[in-house]
Chain A
Amino acid sequence: MARMKFLCDAERCIECNACVTACKNEHEIPWGMNRRRLITLKDGVPGERSISMACMHCNDPPCAGVCPVDCFYQTADGVVLHNKDLCIGCGYCFYACPFGAPQYPQTTNFGSRGKMDKCTFCTGGPEVDNSPEEYQKYGSNRLAEGKLPLCAEMCSTRALMAGDGDVLADIYQERSLRRGYGSGAYGWSTAYGNADKGRAFGPGASGTKGS
């Protein structure tokens, strides 16, 4: 069974925001919410890099750890999903998440911030696959159709990749070796722990030198 992961190669990302737009359109994400976003570091000065960020589908996800109603679960592919019928909109998952992935329809919570929404790796939710209910609550379920997440499929420079972590790690390793440097698979050690890199590597691991 594959372990699904995202990998964003900051050396290739050109900050075109196509992944953000594709995600919003594919899942009809409401105004004001972003399952995926682009962050630019050192904007306009030497060393500028952009990186596309969404839920990293962690091992031992912090969101699941702090959820008071225990609404998170992990699929056999390693995708972290949640049940919106159980979510009470407390906002704790946002405080715990290292990547700022959870989103809420309301900004204040006198009562509730509404059901949390986040990247599903295009895997829907606990409803029947590709049912209207699933689409309404969680957006489309591309994995059930045998497709990978649309953000990565849309990426014109192949900076953002989605799929089996081992395959992604091989691709990234080859790129890093050819370039002679690499920033590491960004966020991987935070999301998956230093022990779980597949055949990949995080910052500081052998093979990349420059990280």
Chain B
Amino acid sequence: MTRHHRHLLIHLLVLAVLVLAAPAVRAQLYQNPVNPPATKEQVPLYQPQEKLVGTVSIPDEKLSVLVQPEGREWREFRSYWLRVVAGTLALGMLAALTLFYLFRGTIRISKGRSGRWVPRFGGFDRFAHWTTAVSFLIMAITGLIITFGRPLLIPLIGHEAFTSTAYASTFLHNFFAIPFTLGLILIFVIWIRDNLPEKADLVWLRTLGGVLNKAGEHPEAGRFNAGQKLIFWAVVFGGFALAVSGVLLMLPFSVTGIGGMQILHVLHGLIASLMIAVIIAHIYIGTIGMEGAFDAMGRGVVDENWAKEHHSRWYEEQILAMRANDGRPVHHRAAE
């Protein structure tokens, strides 16, 4: 047998083995798929479909989440509960104030206007207040447009016009966050000393500031009464919570994952709903709710009788300070 013949024989033998083994190999291929099965417990896909996180080879790490069922709850909040909460709080406050107005009317200065003015808020005070106030109003309205636009505005103005409105709203909402935060810091710094709680606040709160007393009896108060202090602290805490959650929403996934982003959105929406209701009450009592109140933030001065009625202790302090200052009016210390 030559070497050539020996090679041929080996080849034939190999071929025979392969042919005979073929059904077994094929059966084995059917039996064993590409990925050999592990036990059921080892394979996450066999488990009930909860949150599944794996690994990805692309840079976007947050795409390693295979399924996140929390999105369903977030959707429920965004498309239902947020609208219910924001709508109920805002409309409820409006309804309550309307009833109050019908019952009590504008709270008059009981002795009437004196015609003499007492300086109350300097230019810097008013700058801080109106910077924050205008920014808040713009953000409240644009936020409401984004929240309620789909059910309320799209049927009125159509999809294309609403997209332009909503797009402008997102820009306004984001950029007015800057003056809002700056104004908030100013408000906090210049007014915190006069907003610290004191004993007189308890009396004021117990009598609700004398609001139900038509004879014009008022509990004494310093520069800010307990009601104003409540507004101050609501604005400080609520405002900073909105600012922080808002900045994190503007920089998505910078510090938290998708679950954190959903929670931030929920917090931002709920706090904003509360703040809108609080500010509606604040606007009411600062305008049509009380005679002479708007002058304080509008012109910076208040009527002497208004000052005596609502802020008796502060008024006395102003008189004393004025005497010590050779009869010239004294602007508040923070405004100097």
Residues of A that sit less than 8 Å from B by CB: 10-14, 17, 20, 32, 34, 37-43, 46-49, 51, 53, 62, 65-71, 85-92, 94-100, 107-113, 157, 178-179, 181, 183-184, 186-187, 189-190, 203-204, 210-211
Contact = CB atoms under 8 A, between A and B. Distances in A.
A37 B149 contact: no
Contact of B251 (A51, A92, A99, A110): A110
A110 B174 contact: yes
B213 interface: no
Given A39-B64, A190-B69, A66 B79 contact: yes
Nearest to B162: A69
Nearest to A108: B251
A12 B45 contact: no
B180 to A, nearest CB: 15
Interface centre among A32, A68, A181 (most CB of B within 10 A): A68
A46 B33 CA distance: 15
B66 A53 contact: yes
Given A95-B71, A95-B258, A100-B66, 8 more contacts: A48-B35, A65-B79, A95-B74, A108-B254, A181-B37, A183-B46, A187-B67, A189-B49
A172 to B, nearest CB: 13
Given A10-B45, A210-B46, A69 B166 contact: yes
Interface residues of B, number: 62
Interface string B42-68: 111110110010111111101111111
A99 B56 CA distance: 14
B54 A41 contact: yes
Interface string B234-260: 000000000000000011111000100
A88 B169 CA distance: 10
B78 interface: yes
B146 interface: yes
Nearest to B62: A100
19 contacts: A32-B60, A39-B66, A40-B54, A41-B45, A42-B54, A43-B55, A62-B71, A69-B150, A70-B154, A71-B163, A88-B170, A96-B71, A96-B75, A97-B71, A98-B69, A108-B250, A109-B250, A112-B170, A187-B67
A46 B38 contact: yes
A80 B142 CA distance: 28
Given A12-B35, A39-B54, A42-B44, A70 B64 contact: no
A12 B33 contact: yes
B34 interface: yes
Contacts of B69: 98, 190
Contacts of A181: 37
